[in-house]
Structure 1
Amino acid sequence: MITLYGGPTPNARKIAIALLEMDLEWQLEPVDILAGDQLTPAFLALNPNNKTPVIVDDDGPAGPGFVLWETGAILLYLAEKTGRFLPADPVKRALCWQWLMFQLSGIGPMFGQAAHFTHYAKDRHDYAIDRYTREVDRLMMVLDKRLGETEWLAGDEYSIADMATLPYLRRQLIDNGARFPNVARWGAAMFERPAVAEGMTVGVARAETIEGGLTGFTDEHRAILWGDRQHAPR
């Protein structure tokens, strides 16, 4: 049994998709990041970086209770554990790593910053909004070019690189599908996979969570995620 600690976030959902695709036995342990669950001693014992997701594998490489965090590490671990969704051919395998790292270093951070300054920052910062919105657009152009050349991000094989990327693109697929037709084609193919459709529903949103932003987002939430509570010595 693998326990996934997380909530309704892109990072947790990419791991849920992988667990479902790989037919692994798993369960969700909800972590409410707006309530500060990630700052509790119990969670910090699993991940001192206080971020979700985390997995605990009862059938780990050294026995039960193997703890792992960082989504790239988790995806590679699961792919190697099952021998699935990571190409065996060395060239294709390296390309899979490349597009996985593209998501981890580009898509995730840049899309996250764009969402932060557009929806969640208390004060409006036009320079930051423009900076990150334009970078999101540039990254979407990179993805669209790639997916005009290949069926999947790593080539002709569906892989953990695709699983990692989709959860961050939900809003782009809704708002900008016409501008990025190759990404739209890929996104539709992804959602046809039952594991993807189910994995994207993992985690129960708080009552104040709505599509495209948060209502009732408070200074306490900001303190937990980016302010004094986030940066308090531990």
Structure 2
Amino acid sequence: MPYAEGQTVLRRYVRDGRYTWVQPMRVVRDDAAGLLLWHPVGGEYARVVDADGNTQHELSLDLMRDPRLLRQPWLDYDILVLMPPDTAYSVWWFFADGKFAGWYVNLEAPYRRHDDGVDTVDQVLDVRVDPDLTWRWKDEDEFVALTGHPLYFDAATADAVRAVGRQVIALAERAEYPFDGTYVDFTPDPAWPVPRMPAGWDRPDARP
């Protein structure tokens, strides 16, 4: 059943049976084209950190000491996130003070729906696409270092992730949807309050 426009849902990343990222987001639309979500600066999210303040950018999850979800404010960019169905990526539109500032392609597993939100697996490698459609890989060194790690991805999966990235890059190079100007002038419903974490957001274990 589709989520309702204006509903708050949780977008979550899963690793090794636990949540590593939780972000409450406002539903813009939910239809055959995908799930479109909004999150402004000043909203909340949580990411996994360890007792020493390390994130997964510094340490793989298995090396973290007492990892936990840390609730914190969302900074820098308002984001519009499109999660196409049965697709191994999401596309983010960045807005700075209401002005479009580029796209971010998050390579991730196709999402799974629950009553309160969607779960996916972040695949570490990402792509930044500037407003002029120039692009660059992001976190490529981290992606290479984690290839073969049992909690992340083997070489074959890494090759498949990179191939998906190349497919999306090709869309950007041809200025095809979603890089054709769609949503670059998006403005949210002014009646929407900033999304906050609902009760129970911090459950430690991911749903199967």
Task: Please report the TM-score for the alignment, with normalisation by the length of structure 2.
Answer: 0.27
Which of the two has greater helix per residue?
Answer: 1
Max radius of gyration: which structure?
Answer: 1
Bigger share in strand: 2
TM normalised by structure 1 equals 0.25
